[in-house]
Amino acid sequence: MTSPSETPLALLGPARLIPLLIIETVEDAVPLARTLVEAGLPTMEIALRTKAAPHAIRNILREVPGAVPAAGNVMTPHDLAIARDVGARFALSPGHSHALLEAATQHPDMPFVPGIATPSELMAVMSAGFHVVKFFPGATFGGPATLRAMAAPFPHVRFCPTGGTSEADLEDWLSQPNVIAVGGSWLAPIEEIRARQWTRIGDRARAAVAKYIAHRRTP
């Protein structure tokens, strides 16, 4: 049987940098995604916080070759079902619940990355078969130092930290062997999305890719 973490590992490993996107207007989805793909960031997390988000994922899949849109902010089994229905490549949550983990294991066609903040929470998701997790909110819960401490007791777990990450600490995150990718809204701030500042977003994304490409490695 395929491990619940096998597909997320394959998707997140090559990506390394994951823009976290809040899309409020469906019309913004395709130009934003094209900008990020052209800049070298094809994998993107679209938070299911707005009515536009499911339609955005569907449109990106249909109109932006090479894009790998994921559904973020998945909180309930219903959210997971929405992610499946619109064709998201995978789903991520800032946390987890028993009901959400159970729904995810029952639908292996929708790869799922649960969220954790503590070792006890990590042990809970590991017991359900998940070994690729979102570390959220990463900056609040100790930053890269916390993941350094978790490396020894949890050697087979891979983390995608989000929440308070920034360009300033990105190199430190990516230097941790157990960090598979880093997500951040700073790559495409909501204010710039609202203003449709695609050139500014693209320039920042290209700069991030160029600066941290040296940290790309097989997890």
Kind and range of the H or E run holding 189: none
Integer angstrom CA distances of residue 217 from 3, 211, 213: 22, 14, 9
Higher pLDDT, 9 or 211: 9
Give tens-digit pLDDT for 126-135.
Answer: 999 999 999 9
Q: What domains appear along the chain, each with residue ranges and CATH number?
A: 6-213 (3.20.20.70)
Instruction: Tell me, yes or no, if 134 is annotated catalytic.
Output: yes
Give tens-digit pLDDT for 90-104.
Answer: 999 999 999 999 999
Find the catalytic residue in 6, 24, 38, 45. 45
Instruction: Tell me, yes or no, if 211 is annotated catalytic.
Output: no
Find the catalytic residue in 134, 167, 171, 211. 134
Q: What is the pTM of this model?
A: 0.94
- The set of residues, in sequence order, having a beta carbon less than 8 Å from that of 62 and lying 6+ positions away, is none
Give the mean model confidence (pLDDT) for residues 76-92: 98
Give the mean model confidence (pLDDT) for residues 38-46: 97
Measured between alpha carbons, how far apart are the two ends of the chain, in Å?
A: 22
Question: According to DSSP H, which parts of the chain are helical?
Answer: 6-15, 29-39, 52-63, 77-86, 98-106, 119-127, 144-151, 170-174, 190-194, 198-212
**pLDDT value at 84 more than 60:** yes
- The set of residues, in sequence order, having a beta carbon less than 8 Å from that of 197 and lying 6+ positions away, is none
Can you name the residues that pair with 184 across neighbouring β-strands? 19
Give the mean model confidence (pLDDT) for residues 78-98: 98
Give tens-digit pLDDT for 151-209.
Answer: 999 999 999 999 999 989 999 999 999 999 999 999 999 999 999 999 999 999 999 99
